[in-house]
Amino acid sequence: MNGREALPNKGGGGRREGGGRHVPVMLQRCLDLLAPALERPGAVVVDCTLGLGGHSEALLSRFPEARLVALDRDKEALRLSGERLAPFGDRATLVHAVYDELPDVLGRLGIPRVQGILFDLGVSSMQLDEADRGFAYAQDAPLDMRMDQTAGVSAAEVLNTYPPGELVRILRAYGEEKQAKRIVAAVVREREKEPFTTSARLVELIRDALPQAAKRTGGNPAKRTFQALRIEVNGELSVLERAVPAAVKSLDVGGRIAVLSYHSLEDRLVKQVFAAGAATTAPPGLPVVPEQYQPRLKLLTRGAELPTEEEIAENRRAAPARLRGAERIREDVG
């Protein structure tokens, strides 16, 4: 296994094409989902997970009348994508922010509602491919995993300081790791001898801790632990839990949202928010459903859409991707 297969991750880095540029996962489908909303005059689209700017560049190119607001917590990503998007001038506004800060960002920019929103979740290819970020278990690196390296605790701090019970909870909840107790027991023994600092030592510990049967299925045995640590370090699920409802509220009527997820925990959360918005909240038995109980969203995808076999063959990072879309069809009432 190489670094390009390292984690369930956002496809925003995708495969490379000429000049080192990347092609995002399910790009054409994302553009098509958002198109009816973004072909309106004066449309504003938000790329909540800018990364290296692949989706943003495509949005600005496909919809020449649209304005882009793009968010990322990674300052290096903002620098690199800023160079990429420079030809679009003031049509693109790049902001250093986490995506649950979207309402505040739009408020500061004086934008009451937007017509399109895109999320491409998880760790970007830039973060995955840079060994010193510590996201990839296939290469030795400092155990960092922070998407914003200027804030928060690192993965090493989590491993070295969290109580055993909390580590077990994290591995089970965020990595769906069945062998969490066994792995954590080994971590606690080893950290008492010497604190963890690098990914290779953790990978070796996990390999040694797991029974043979667990090592024979599901790819690299470290992947679930690394996913769990990354989600904990970056608060990914709690941020997403706030961000998706806030994004829906930021949509104009007729506006559309598309979300690419890369593991079941993310996808389940997005599914729940969209399903709740698309359901009536009226008490059963009413002959006519009043406006305040009518659905706010219309689902644009039947379940979660998957990448094509051709795309997966070109870019194995696309394999876990799940795409869901929805359209805002009513204002909130009351």
Q: Report the binding-site residues for S-adenosyl-L-methionine.
A: 53-55, 72, 99, 120, 127
18: Cβ contacts below 8 Å, ≥ 6 apart: none
E-strand stretches of the chain: 15-16, 22-23, 44-47, 67-72, 92-96, 114-120, 251-261, 297-299, 322-328
Tell me phi and psi for residue 254, to 5 degrees. 90, -10
Amino acid at 202: L
In total, the chain counts a number of residues equal to 334
* Residue 142, CA distances (Å) to 35, 148, 154, 156, 228 in order: 42, 15, 9, 8, 17
What is the token pair recorded at 320?
């876990």
- Rounded CA separation 328/299 (Å): 9
- Rounded CA separation 170/228 (Å): 6
- Rounded CA separation 315/319 (Å): 8
What is the token pair recorded at 172?
């089970």
Q: Report the binding-site residues.
A: 53-55, 72, 99, 120, 127
- Rounded CA separation 86/73 (Å): 19
What is the token pair recorded at 256?
């559309």
The residue among 24, 37, 106 whose CA lies nearest residue 65 is 37
What is the token pair recorded at 243?
């961000």
- Rounded CA separation 23/318 (Å): 11
What is the token pair recorded at 316?
């194995």
